[in-house]
A and B are shown apart, each in its own frame.
Chain A
């Protein structure tokens, strides 16, 4: 099973090693730093399985799988719950897409969620256009 950044409602930008994500469907915006940003940048290079991402984090942070597996799985669950990432029905052994692997110390990836701009960001779905109204 592979995962991919949701393309349609999401825009994102990396600035000063922090990823800023806008979700137009929900009206929320998000920040990712450290390991979270590293994981996101892997996904930005293409679909990847959680296993491959865990290996990449292990390699980058020089840490054992047992210490991070639960964190990464929880992190992915949150990304999916927020509509930022979706599952793809691809072979989970697809080649690892790697972001630049800078050695760093491990910290639990955290998705910072901001909801204060919801009313401004979220776009109403289009209603059936009735030309009698227009």
Chain B
């Protein structure tokens, strides 16, 4: 049932932020009351932030750790944030519908709170997550059964890391990123445009690799979030060399195949690269691939539409971040064909990577 105009949610409600703040505290207290006997704990470095992730069930931990094991950290210092991941039926306090921030459209439900807390409900995942900026504790509570293949394993970290970085003017970009010598190029475009195929072809050719689909972006630096790539079966046929390496069976919910890149590409997968150029791959039938400079606004129109998060109140900031990115570096269109070697050669010769 959709929200009707008569619903109390359709009107902006002035509510004391402290009410939601208290709910956030109550959720965290609830989590603290759970037995820690079988908790699995690990530290990961996401960007510049050290996260201690605590999982209350082994399945969640194993799936998540498989995705993020290359970001595991043995730093002895106190973590910047502690995250608690719970995968069971929600038993925390019921949240007041009146506190939902009004919007004519919604992605993730946002609750009105003070700046010390954030609280969201991801409807299609049946997941609630909250951040306490004073104690630097976050909770990711999902009642969706975690299935082995159908979920992106990095979900807890993606949402929480993005929320943390949003306060620092960063967020998650829908892009591929490869590079050389610590310098990266960022591939833009909607799904099916050739980002993943181009990114992974570059990896096979020996480029440094951050991602084929999503990365954390902050201050012109992109950060790795997962060791998995996702490709369609068609792309796998093109990248036949990749096909023979450790494929997981099954598809993701968007019908792509998950491909672990470790341990085979251990030396190529990097934690971060500084972006020096933005490239929009465009599939063509031309016999010769070409790389043509284009305007920043063309890059923005390619990058923006598929990069927005589902946090409505953040969209203006996200568009501004993307605009600043494309204005700060050279932009290109890469017209590529089935012979990816041509495209790879063109990318390798970009002066910004030298």
List residues of A whose CB falls within 8 A of some B CB: 8-9, 11-13, 15-16, 18, 20, 22, 24-25, 29, 31, 114, 116-117, 120-129, 131, 133-134
| Cα separation A122 to B305 with both chains bound (whole Å) | 10
Instruction: Give the contacts of B93-123 with A (CB-CB under 8 A).
Output: 94, 97, 100, 103-107, 109, 121, 123
Known: A9-B104, A134-B128. A128 touches B3 (CB 8 A): yes
B316 to chain A, nearest CB (A): 5
Q: Does A13 contact B319, Cβ atoms closer than 8 Å? A: yes
| Cα separation A11 to B322 with both chains bound (whole Å) | 12
Interface size on B, residues (CB 8 A): 43
Would you call B78 an interface residue if the criterion is a C-beta within 8 Å of the partner chain's C-beta atoms?
no
Which residue from A22, A116, A117, A125 sits with its C-beta under 8 Å from B319? A22
Which residue from B2, B128, B190, B326 sits with its C-beta under 8 Å from A117? B190
A19 to chain B, nearest CB (A): 9
Q: Does B306 contact A125, Cβ atoms closer than 8 Å? A: no
Residue numbers in B under 8 Å from A128 (CB-CB): 1-3, 7
Which residue from B100, B107, B296, B319 sits with its C-beta under 8 Å from A11? B319
Known: A22-B305, A126-B9, A126-B109. A16 touches B297 (CB 8 A): yes
| Cα separation A13 to B326 with both chains bound (whole Å) | 12
Would you call B22 an interface residue if the criterion is a C-beta within 8 Å of the partner chain's C-beta atoms?
no
List residues of B whose CB falls within 8 A of some A CB: 1-3, 7, 9, 89-90, 94, 97, 100, 103-107, 109, 121, 123-124, 126, 128, 143, 190-191, 295-297, 300-301, 304-306, 308, 310, 312, 315-316, 318-320, 323, 326-327
Q: Does A129 contact B312, Cβ atoms closer than 8 Å? A: no
Residue numbers in A under 8 Å from B327 (CB-CB): 15
Q: Does B105 contact A129, Cβ atoms closer than 8 Å? A: no
B226 to chain A, nearest CB (A): 20
Q: Does B316 contact A11, Cβ atoms closer than 8 Å? A: yes
Closest residue to A26 on the B side, CB-wise?
B105
Q: Does A131 contact B319, Cβ atoms closer than 8 Å? A: no
Residue numbers in B under 8 Å from A16 (CB-CB): 295-297
B40 to chain A, nearest CB (A): 24
Known: A11-B319, A13-B300, A120-B305. A131 touches B106 (CB 8 A): no
Contact sample, A vs B, 7 pairs, CB 8 Å cutoff: A8-B105, A15-B327, A25-B104, A117-B305, A125-B3, A126-B9, A126-B109
Known: A15-B326, A20-B301. A134 touches B126 (CB 8 A): yes
| Cα separation A114 to B124 with both chains bound (whole Å) | 27
Q: Does A20 contact B300, Cβ atoms closer than 8 Å? A: yes
Which residue from B7, B109, B295, B305 sits with its C-beta under 8 Å from A29? B305
| Cα separation A124 to B190 with both chains bound (whole Å) | 19
